[in-house]
Amino acid sequence: MNDLIQLASQYRGLLSVVVSTLSFLVITYVWWSRISLWLKSISYRLPLIGTNNRLSRRLEIDDQGWFNAEREVCNSFVREYDKYSADEEHYQQASIYLDKVGDKGITPLKWYHWLGLSVLVLIEAAGFAYVLAGFTLQDASEALQKEAAIAIAMLISALLVVLTHAMGGELYRNQQIDKVRLRWQNSPNKPNIIEPNNSVSLKSKQNHIDDNEPGWQQMANRLDKVNANFSKTWVMTIVTLIFIVIVASGATYVRGQVLEKLAIEQVQGEVSSTDDVFTFDDPFAPPAEAIETNDAADKKALQEKMSAHKKAGWTTFIILAVIFIAMQCYSIYLGFKTTFSGKESKDAYGYVHEFENVTSFVAHHNAKRDEVARIAQRVLSHLQAKISRYAQKNSGEQQVLHAAANPTNRNFINFIKLEVLRHTQKVTLAETAKPAPVQPAVAPVTPTPAAPAASAEGDIDPAIIARVKNHDIEGLSDEVVIKAMAQIKQQKEETPEERLARLQAMV
């Protein structure tokens, strides 16, 4: 223990770097969503090299009065915004997903698991460093040899943690595959092969499309990292076991050789010391027979001493090897108990197990969505300010100048609403484009004169059309907004360029 304290004191600089690095990695892993969103916001708003500096020079305007640059910025944050668009049904589907794939009892690595793995890494590295210290860079100084040994030991320990965790995950996934194949074989109407349906997904809200299929098919649709034959794989298990055996046997062998070396040196030292006590020319020396008898007794005692020392040393090394293997088994167990087998099980677990009920789940995601909206609006406002300054200096078009000076209604929330309306309009058009069902034949009737069709201008109030043009759609139904947008598109004035292109096509 004193040696470990002395070693830690000697290399406290290196240990502080290692601990700081591990802490940074853990913090980054836990808070990555916020950190990545903050970095993305900074990348857009950086002076001179930021993305907004490039986008502010693009003054093209679409038919709804938005700059294309504004749409590009909003689109870049839609993914983060949609990630937190969750409701009660999403919460329920996440729980159903875990049930179907069989990951209901799996929990990811907690902070104390990571702490335990870090302690394992440090203990393993300390043990390997003592073994390797005298054999790394033998031509270098003793201090450099120790530093190289610590670096190599840390590398070996980190590889062991990664490999054992991957092996545990592979063992759990193989267990899940066994469950699927067993249920498939006992299914009365089983197909010839197990073919997963890759369209099943929680994120795309397609988790319910296989509700009527057998349980083994539902599990197969969601399992991750399966091959075409839907069979078990042992690649990581074999690689990990080979690496563990090599490290354990190699470390034990090196310790044994060091023990033999120390024993030989000790024997040589004690033999030389006994030879120098008396000489046959000394008049006070005992008889030769007595000296030989004494030497034989000393050698026998020394051999027994060395034999006992070797046995104790080898017993210690075997215990250390057993402890080393036990530590790897613990790491494998953690990998087995904390690795999800489903493609989206980790996301589903985050939806379900981090909240006490669906109310807290919805409140959390609404708060997260509002946070993304605030950051996106901050970036969009920064871009609009740059567009306004650039347009005043470099553009003479009144439409561009007016749009750049009046960006109030062009905000991130309105962009989301317009995207929802656009999606609704596409769905409505797709449904109306479907062929009408064939009606049964009926007796002919005398046609009555049809009422004159209402004019396009009479369908929607001009005041409503003006409101939609200014992106003021509060209080208007989706149907009214869609009709107004269609009428605006029909009433769009033809530019001189469009007119010239149309006339050239007629020639």
Q: Residue range 416-424: average pLDDT?
A: 82
User: Based on the domain organization, do 112 and 257 belong to the same domain?
Assistant: no
Q: What is the mean pLDDT of residues 214-237?
A: 92
Average pLDDT over residues 109-119: 78
Please indicate whether residue 208 or residue 142 has the higher confidence score (pLDDT).
208
Does residue 51 sit in the same domain as residue 155? Answer: yes
pLDDT over 90 percentage in the chain: 26
User: Which DSSP state fits 136?
Assistant: S
Residue 262 shares a structural domain with residue 208: no
Tokens of residue 314, six digits: 């080898």
Closest by CA to 339, choosing from 183, 112, 105, 182, is: 105
pLDDT digits 0-9 by tens, 239-254: 999 999 988 888 888 8
211 in the same domain as 309: no
Asked if the structure places residue 448 within a domain, the reply is no
Asked if pLDDT for residue 494 goes beyond 50, the answer is yes
Based on the fold, state whether residues 57 and 130 are members of the same structural domain: yes
Dump pLDDT digits (tens) for 72-89.
999 999 988 988 877 788
* Residue that has been written with the tokens 């092996």 in this structure: 167
340 in a domain, yes or no? no
Distance linking the first and last C-alpha atoms of the chain: 96
Q: 310-368 pLDDT, tens per residue? A: 788 788 888 888 888 998 998 999 999 999 999 999 988 988 887 888 888 888 888 99
Kindly report, residue by residue over 30-51, the tens digit of the pLDDT. Answer: 788 889 899 999 999 998 889 9
Please give the average per-residue pLDDT across 123-132, as a whole number: 74
Is the pLDDT at 65 greater than 80? The verdict is yes
Rounded mean pLDDT, 492-499: 62
How confident is the model at residue 418, as a pLDDT? 87
Averaged pLDDT, 364-388: 92
Domain hosting 126: range is 2-235+347-353
SS3 61: strand
Q: Tell me: do 121 and 172 sit in the same domain.
A: yes
Q: What is the pLDDT of residue 34?
A: 87
Q: How high is the pLDDT of residue 292?
A: 67
For residues 56 and 154, the model is more confident at: 56
Domain count, the chain: 2
| Cα–Cα distance measured from residue 373 to residue 376, given in angstroms and rounded to the nearest whole number | 5
What is each CA distance from 127 to 132, 323, 412, in whole angstroms?
A: 9, 11, 57
pLDDT at 447 over 50: no
pLDDT of residue 3: 56
Same-domain pairing of 211 and 308: no
276 in the same domain as 221: no
Q: Report the candidate in 25, 116, 41, 104 with the shortest Cα–Cα distance to residue 73.
A: 41
* Residue 182: both structure tokens together: 């067993």
Tell which of 353, 388, 414 closes a domain. Answer: 353
Instruction: Identify the DSSP state of 231.
Output: -
For the record, the structure tokens of 472 come out as: 């003021």
Residue 441: pLDDT band with limits 50, 70, 90:
very low
Does some domain include residue 465?
no
Q: What is the pLDDT of residue 205?
A: 83
Q: Is residue 180 part of a domain?
A: yes
pLDDT of residue 153: 80
449-473 average pLDDT score: 59
Examine the domain organization and report whether 74 and 10 are in the same domain: yes
3-state secondary structure of 67: strand
Residues in CB range of 137: below 8 A, 6 or more apart: 144, 145, 148
How much is the pLDDT for 460? 72
Residue 123 in contact with residue 161, Cβ under 8 Å?
A: no
What is the pLDDT at residue 455? 38
Q: Is the predicted pLDDT of residue 437 greater than 60, yes or no?
A: no
pLDDT at 180: 94
Choose from 1-10, 104-113, 204-213, 272-281 the range with maximum mean pLDDT.
Answer: 204-213
As a whole number, mean pLDDT of residues 194-216 equals 89
Judged by DSSP in three states, 342 sits in strand
- 208 and 103 assigned to the same domain: yes
Among 23-32, 52-61, 357-366, the least confident range: 23-32
Which DSSP helix (H) or strand (E) runs through 359?
helix 358-394
Task: Place 256 in a pLDDT band, splitting at 50, 70 and 90.
Answer: confident
Say what the pLDDT of residue 340 is.
93
Mark whether 59 and 176 lie in a shared domain: yes
* pLDDT of residue 185 exceeding 70: yes
**DSSP string covering 382-439:** HHHHHHHHHHHHH---HHHHHHHH--TT--HHHHHHHHHHHHHHHHHHHHHTSPPPPP
Q: Pick the closest to residue 488 from 453, 462, 454, 449 (CA basis).
A: 462
Spatial distance between the Cα atoms of 96 and 66, rounded to a whole number of angstroms = 41
DSSP state of 104: T
Look at residue 116 and tell me if it is in a domain.
Answer: yes
How many CA atoms, within 13 angstroms, populate the side-chain half-sphere of residue 80?
A: 25
Within a domain: residue 204?
yes
- Got the DSSP string for 190-219? --SS----TT--TTTT-TTTTTTS-HHHHH
Cβ–Cβ under 8 Å, residues 179 and 186? no
The pTM (predicted TM-score) of the whole model is 0.63
8 A C-beta contact, residue 409 and residue 471: yes
Q: Is the pLDDT of residue 445 over 50?
A: no
The tokens of 178 are what? 């066994």
Which pLDDT does position 224 carry in this prediction? 92
pLDDT at 318: 87
Burial degree of 37 (CB within 10 A; 0-12, 13-18, 19+): middle
**Cα atoms in the Cβ-side hemisphere of radius 13 Å centred on 391:** 25
Which pLDDT does position 451 carry in this prediction?
A: 36
- 310 within some domain: yes
Radius of gyration over alpha carbons of the chain, in Å?
38
User: Of 82, 81, 77, 89, nearest to 362 (Cα)?
Assistant: 89
The reported pLDDT for the residue numbered 387 is 92
Q: Is residue 359 part of a domain?
A: no
CA atoms within a 13 Å half-sphere pointing along the CA-CB vector of 383: 31
Q: What average pLDDT does the structure give for the chain? A: 80
| Same domain? 213 vs 317 | no
Q: Does the pLDDT of residue 139 top 80, yes or no? A: no
Whole-number pLDDT of residue 234: 95
